[in-house]
Amino acid sequence: MRPEGQGSLTAAPASRTVVVAGAGIGGLTAAIALAEQRFHVIVLEKAPQLDQAGAGIQLSPNASSVLLRLGLEKHLADHVVTPDDISIIAARSGRPIVRIPLGASAQTRYGAPYWIIHRADLQAALLRRARENPDIDLQLDAPFEDVSLHASGVTVINREAQQQTSRRAVALVGADGVWSNVRHQHFGGVPASLSGHVAWRGTVDAFKLPRDVSQNRITLWLGAGAHLVAYPVRGGALINIVAIVAGHWDRPGWNEAGDASEIAAEFASRGWSAGARKIVEAADNWRKWALFTVEGAGLAKGPVALLGDAGHAMLPFAAQGAAMAIEDAAVLADCLVRQPDAATEAFRRYAAQRQTRVAQVRRTTWQAGAIYHLPAPVALARNLSMKLLGGRRLLSQRDWIYDWRLA
Ligand SMILES: Cc1cc2nc3c(=O)[nH]c(=O)nc-3n(C[C@H](O)[C@H](O)[C@H](O)COP(=O)(O)OP(=O)(O)OC[C@H]3O[C@@H](n4cnc5c(N)ncnc54)[C@H](O)[C@@H]3O)c2cc1C
């Protein structure tokens, strides 16, 4: 990768150059996958430096398999945790409902690991991998502004050092997140919709929590209208906590400070068990994140494609948003390398391959939310049926998601 801000942008032929807007998880994965296929990739990132924001992220085997294939094993090895299981608990009684096996069971079943990682560690690993490839040219503080189409591709306009810059390329990939300007400019301005849920995210030093929570596991408490997730990141030193509650707070962004007493009071008023409330009270660095979704934008229009949250932001209840961005990146690079001189047709095939899968996964996120948040007494029936099904059969319900591999 060329030193940031010093790219020689006209050196590579436009016919082999792809511009990616956004250096998040999706944009960096796309850049690595495209550069592996010998495209020259210019990544335009709005932020002056790559963000350390966000907390933990689960990477299911459909996503980890792509990252392994792109050569990220050594970049990720020191940062991932492989949880043994997901322990599901009834929030009010504090009683365990079921354990879904992960660890070696997931590895054997899907041929790839189920990992958890701090988001900043994942982004840093992707960046390190990108830096190994001289065909990736990352421009920070370089927001995408506009695109125009012409017979041989696109002209992309962005801002750099307070000036407008334009570059010709064979295609543009909008990986610029839920508030995507590429979607705004080129896909009819389909807006992000407020979901009515707010995610509160915090971390706690592992030694401050009881061992059954700080162990190598994902713990999920289910309550009426809310759920809570805790899992280790940073090699187990920190426990990542996400609390999802109903709400219409709607500030865009990833990193708004949240008031610890507000979220503690919210959970106290719900009558949750002392164990779950202690977890919420232990975190002191809360961040609030209004959950928005994006639907109906389409994923391709001429030689311009959308990828990840820019095209299909979804609720995080199946832990699949980043996984879908990673799958998108692999499919997009594969389609483009098969038709490098026909980006419009390549992106049409990319959209056709992705649309149904993304819609199915999106439906699963809504279903998961509805099931997680059931009120009593239906929640008792849910708990009983989860118990009767057992962890292995619950895991097998996700086979169609985790089994995905690039065709
Ligand atoms: C609480 C919560 C928990 C989650 N947990 C999981 C999980 O466990 N597993 C999972 O798979 N997913 C999870 N997700 C979803 C996941 O975080 C997102 O789907 C994923 O980060 C999307 O990646 P992206 O690259 O598409 O977008 P982003 O990560 O948003 O990256 C977009 C990038 O584009 C840049 N940008 C914006 N505008 C411009 C512009 N005009 N020009 C240039 N650059 C621009 C931004 O600065 C940013 O760097 C979770 C989400 C939430 C809210």
* pTM summary value: 0.95
Percent of the chain with pLDDT over 90: 79
What is the chain's mean pLDDT, rounded? 92
Q: What sign has the CA pseudo-torsion 274, 279, 283, 286?
A: negative
User: Domain limits of the chain?
Assistant: 14-62+118-192+294-365, 73-117+195-292+371-402
10-38 confidence digits (pLDDT tens): 456 667 999 999 999 999 999 999 999 99
Which of 42, 57, 244, when mutated, tests ligand 1's pocket best, judged by the most ligand atoms within 8 Å of its CB?
A: 57
Active-site option among 110, 231, 350, 402: 231
Q: For residue 64, report the distance from its CA to the centre of ligand 1, in Å.
A: 17
Measured from CB, residues less than 6 Å from any atom of ligand 1 are 21-27, 44-47, 57-58, 143-144, 175-177, 181, 199, 201, 242, 289, 291, 308-310, 316, 319-323, 325
Residue that is written with structure tokens 């997901």 in the block: 86
93-146 confidence digits (pLDDT tens): 999 999 999 999 999 999 999 999 999 999 999 999 999 999 999 999 999 999
- Shortest-distance atom of ligand 1 to CA 313: 19
Question: CA-to-CA distance for 310 and 174, rounded, in angstroms?
Answer: 7
Q: Is 114 a catalytic residue?
A: no
- Shortest-distance atom of ligand 1 to CA 116: 8
Give the 3-state secondary structure of residue 260. helix
User: Which of these, 12, 90, 24, lies nearest to 53 by C-alpha position?
Assistant: 24
- Architecture of the domain defined by 73-117+195-292+371-402: 2-Layer Sandwich (3.30)
161-215 confidence digits (pLDDT tens): 889 999 999 999 999 999 999 999 999 989 999 999 999 999 999 988 887 777 8
- Shortest-distance atom of ligand 1 to CA 51: 49
Q: For residue 268, report the distance from its CA to the centre of ligand 1, in Å.
A: 31
Fold exhibited by the domain 14-62+118-192+294-365: FAD/NAD(P)-binding domain (3.50.50)
